[in-house]
């Protein structure tokens, strides 16, 4: 069964448009209850700071209670915090209201299982199979109850701090923390301050409309200026729901997910603590793969999406993986991507080694990448197009062994993503544009 509503990270869309309406949220709550807690149980519901979060929180609360499920409402909390508290509070599942790094006009709903993991595709398909039914309402004696548990966020804060090496704190560090005016605006500064860091907060004043607006991991320019301006050791930028991380070194330069993965992998490897291969995605920089190979660390590529990285890590017995965007999975510490926890691991390595973030990142050279999005009138299989495949082979021959070509359809829009990577920036740019034109003219309906 093809999923109609669930994408790589739950259901997402423009507020007020299908599926992000109150009516849909009510039906989704009933459908999720039927699949994840058919005999009743408890769900933990959290959200980020979008204005529409109040509306969807109320809709999910009503839908779950009507379906006989008890509801714990924890309010604004990073997505990984919900994943952790689902286990800690022994809930049957969790629900998060967030559109991650998108603007406030969008929102989304995603679920975690009782172990704090993202739902398997099969479970999401089962939930979708019930969405055509009206919202479930049980008789009065079978209804659930709702309870606010805002103070439980302290448990998550303590957990984050506990992922640091025993006895280590961050005294002597000045850290700029940018929470994207999102879900981490309370917990992230408090965790860093409790660990002894001098903090400079930005992006920590949400008003319902400014989430991810010129701040956070997708817009780190203000963080770059601030870190250099206040002479901080590092900057941490989360996205709106706190599961992505981008860092900034003392010179004001960004350090992306691939570079952070390299830093953590190298430190774990040297300490004898790294298990299995490191797992990236098809879009991970070739420089990461080559730098890890120089250290004797195996590297695997999963499909784009942290859920697929997690799946491969479990299959391969690995503990570290992630995406260039900053979704980092440290499975030796937690069950899902957690921007704050990942940032703490990097700060701990800086403290242990006495090296700056710039020095730690210098061991990996990023290869030039060019990504071109080719808009098409309808999706088509580029692997079945002879002209496209001939152009791909020609580009790969030109690049040689130290370059890559990746063509993949977008999962959310009618776009073919063309990515070329190699050692020479000019060559990479020219090949990407040439290949994108071949994809465009061979698309069905192209004129």
How large is the average pLDDT for residues 249-267? 98
Residue 2 parent element (H or E): none
> Is 139 found in the same domain as 29?
yes
CA separation for the pair 396, 382 (Å, rounded): 16
pLDDT digits (tens, 9 = 90+) for 121-168: 899 999 999 999 988 999 999 999 999 999 999 999 999 999 999 999
Q: Quickly list DSSP for 112-177.
A: E-TTSPBPPHHHHHHHHHTTTSPPP---GGG---EEE-GGGHHHHHHHHHHTSPTT---TT-EEEE
Closest CA to 418 of 385, 442, 382, 446: 382
Query: Where does a domain end: 298, 326, 361?
Result: 361
Residues near 444 by beta carbon (within 8 Å), at least 6 away in sequence: 376, 377, 378, 380
**pLDDT cut 90: percent of the chain above it:** 90
Distances (CA, A) of 141 to 26, 37, 66, 67, 212: 20, 17, 11, 11, 43
CA separation for the pair 290, 403 (Å, rounded): 11
CA separation for the pair 347, 169 (Å, rounded): 10
> Is 352 found in the same domain as 335?
yes
Residue 57 parent element (H or E): helix 53-66
| Residue 158 falls inside a structural domain | no
Query: Where does a domain end: 328, 361, 394?
Result: 361
Characterize 385-406 residue by residue with b for buried, 16 or more Cβ atoms within 10 angstroms of its Cβ, and e for exposed: beebeebbeebbeebeeebbbb
Characterize 18-31 residue by residue with b for buried, 16 or more Cβ atoms within 10 angstroms of its Cβ, and e for exposed: ebbbbebbbbbbbb
* Structure token pair of residue 181: 């005016």
Question: How many domains are contained in the chain?
Answer: 3
pLDDT digits (tens, 9 = 90+) for 227-238: 999 999 999 999
| Segments forming the whole domain that contains residue 36 | 11-152
Query: Where does a domain end: 152, 184, 200?
Result: 152
> Is 198 found in the same domain as 299?
yes
> Is 234 found in the same domain as 336?
yes
Residue 444 CB-density burial (10 A; 0-12 exposed, 13-18 middle, 19+ buried): exposed
> Is 197 found in the same domain as 301?
yes
> Is 413 found in the same domain as 302?
no
CA separation for the pair 412, 7 (Å, rounded): 8
> Is 397 found in the same domain as 265?
no
How large is the average pLDDT for residues 215-219? 96
CATH of the domain at 403: 3.30.310.50
The distance from CA 275 to its chain's CA centroid, rounded to whole angstroms, is: 22
CATH of the domain at 272: 3.40.120.10
Q: Is 100 marked active-site?
A: yes
Pick the catalytic residue from 52, 98, 100, 325.
100
pLDDT digits (tens, 9 = 90+) for 278-330: 999 999 999 999 999 999 999 999 998 888 999 999 999 999 999 999 999 99
């Amino acid at each position: 069964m093809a999923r109609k509503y669930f994408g790589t990270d739950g259901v997402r869309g423009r507020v007020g448009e299908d599926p992000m309406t109150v009516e849909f949220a009510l039906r989704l709550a009933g459908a999720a209850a039927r699949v994840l807690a058919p005999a009743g149980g408890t769900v933990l519901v959290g959200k980020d700071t979008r204005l529409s979060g109040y509306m969807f929180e109320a809709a999910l609360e009503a839908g779950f209670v009507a379906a006989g499920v008890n509801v714990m409402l924890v309010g604004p909390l990073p997505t990984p915090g919900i994943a952790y508290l689902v286990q800690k509070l022994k809930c049957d599942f969790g629900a998060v209201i967030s559109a991650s790094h998108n603007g406030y006009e969008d929102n989304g709903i995603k679920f975690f299982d009782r172990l704090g993991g993202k739902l398997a595709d099969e479970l999401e398909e089962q939930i979708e199979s019930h969405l055509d039914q009206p919202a479930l309402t049980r008789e009065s004696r079978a209804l659930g109850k709702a309870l606010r548990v805002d103070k439980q966020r302290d448990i998550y804060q303590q957990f984050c701090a506990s992922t640091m090496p025993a006895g280590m704190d961050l005294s002597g560090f000045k850290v700029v923390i940018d929470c994207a005016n999102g879900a981490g605006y309370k917990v992230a500064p408090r965790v860093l301050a409790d660990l002894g860091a001098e903090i400079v907060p930005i992006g920590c004043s949400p008003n319902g409309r400014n989430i991810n607006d010129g701040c956070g991991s997708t817009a780190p320019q203000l963080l770059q200026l601030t870190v250099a301006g206040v002479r901080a050791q590092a900057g941490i930028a989360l996205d709106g729901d706190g599961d992505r991380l981008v860092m900034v070194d003392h010179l004001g330069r960004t350090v992306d997910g691939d570079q952070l993965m390299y830093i953590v992998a190298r430190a774990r490897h040297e300490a004898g603590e790294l298990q299995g291969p490191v797992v990236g995605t098809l879009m991970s920089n070739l420089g990461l793969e080559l730098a890890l190979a120089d250290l004797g660390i195996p590297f695997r590529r999963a499909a784009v999406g942290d859920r697929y990285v997690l799946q491969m890590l479990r299959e391969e017995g690995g503990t570290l993986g992630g995406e260039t965007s900053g979704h980092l999975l440290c499975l030796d510490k937690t069950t899902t991507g957690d921007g704050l926890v990942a940032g703490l691991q990097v700060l701990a390595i800086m403290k242990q080694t006495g090296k700056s973030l710039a020095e730690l990142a210098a061991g990996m050279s990023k290869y030039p990448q060019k990504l071109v999005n080719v808009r098409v009138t309808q999706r088509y299989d580029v692997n079945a197009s002879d002209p496209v495949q001939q152009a791909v082979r020609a580009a790969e021959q030109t690049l040689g062994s130290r370059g890559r070509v990746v063509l993949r359809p977008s999962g959310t829009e009618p776009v073919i993503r063309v990515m070329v990577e190699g050692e020479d920036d000019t060559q990479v740019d020219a090949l990407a544009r040439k290949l994108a034109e071949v994809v465009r003219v061979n698309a069905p309906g192209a004129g």
